[in-house]
Amino acid sequence: MEEILDSILLGIVQGLTEFLPVSSSGHLVLAQELLGTNLGTDILFEVAVHIATLFAILIFYRRRVLELIYGAVTRNRDALDYVGKLIVGTLPAVVVALLLRNWIEAQFNSLLVVGICLLVTGFIVWSTRFTIKDNGLNEPSWGAAFLIGCVQAIAILPGISRSGSTVAAGMALGLNPLAAAEFSFMLGMIAMAGAGVLLLPELTSVDPELINSITFGSLAALISGLLALTAFIWLLRTQRFFVFAWYAWAVGTITVILTLA
């Protein structure tokens, strides 16, 4: 029963922080420390909750996803261009993940790294206060797509918010907030699918005792992810996105202080 409760809590943390600009990877590390569980490090559980958040994006952006699929099949130029930009934006993270995988995984064992990266996330999110009002582009250029992808690659580090940093980068490059969010989450959908594919070969066997934990954790991640996506878009519409900087600074500062102490 305790493991199921832990899986639900970890699923909620994953769902909320995957989309809110506060870093899901950093919060999963912190949550596991607080709960005293290693469940979040289990590969199958990790794959399951990421797939659940992937489905949250598919549900939330279902019309846009279907539009892009239909456009790609019918060779619509606009749809093909957008899909091409998503591919360009995905490449930097793929390269970094393949070349630096062992080093990146080692950073997940350091609470100090998580704390410092959360402080960085705070400054990134705060920057949107100055870029959210005057943007008008509905789609990134090819160069902007690549730069947003480079930011996503940096956000592989625990504590750097993928959604927060890529949306902030999009707005800094002239995208309107909703367009920046859409491109960010479409990139995220590809990244989550890719991460799942990379982890699948490591799944040699499934522990029957984990099935309930995986099921409840995935459902919690899906539901909380949909709620977080709705809140994320609302914050952009109301130009209150930057308020999460205070949260990231607070958690980052506390983490650094406690780690050093």
Q: Is the per-residue pLDDT at 136 higher than 60?
A: yes
Asked if 151 and 91 count as a contact pair (C-beta separation under 8 A), the reply is no
Asked if 127 and 172 count as a contact pair (C-beta separation under 8 A), the reply is yes
Higher pLDDT, 51 or 45: 51
What local confidence, expressed as pLDDT, does residue 14 receive? 86
What local confidence, expressed as pLDDT, does residue 1 receive? 67
CA distance 261 to 256: 8
**CB-based contacts of 63: which residues, under 8 Å, 6+ apart?**
none
Asked if 97 and 149 count as a contact pair (C-beta separation under 8 A), the reply is no
Q: Which domain holds residue 72?
A: 2-260
Mean pLDDT over the full length of the chain: 87
CA distance 226 to 183: 17
**Backbone dihedral region for residue 170 (phi beyond 0: left; psi -120 to 50: alpha; all else: beta):** alpha
Task: Read off the pTM.
Answer: 0.88
Structural domain count, the chain:
1
Q: Is the per-residue pLDDT at 203 higher than 60?
A: no
Place 200 in a pLDDT band, splitting at 50, 70 and 90: low
* DSSP secondary structure string for all residues of 131-187: HSSS--BSS--HHHHHHHHHHHHHTTSTTS-HHHHHHHHHHHTTB-HHHHHHHHHHH
137 φ, ψ (degrees, to nearest 5): -75, 140
What local confidence, expressed as pLDDT, does residue 134 receive? 63
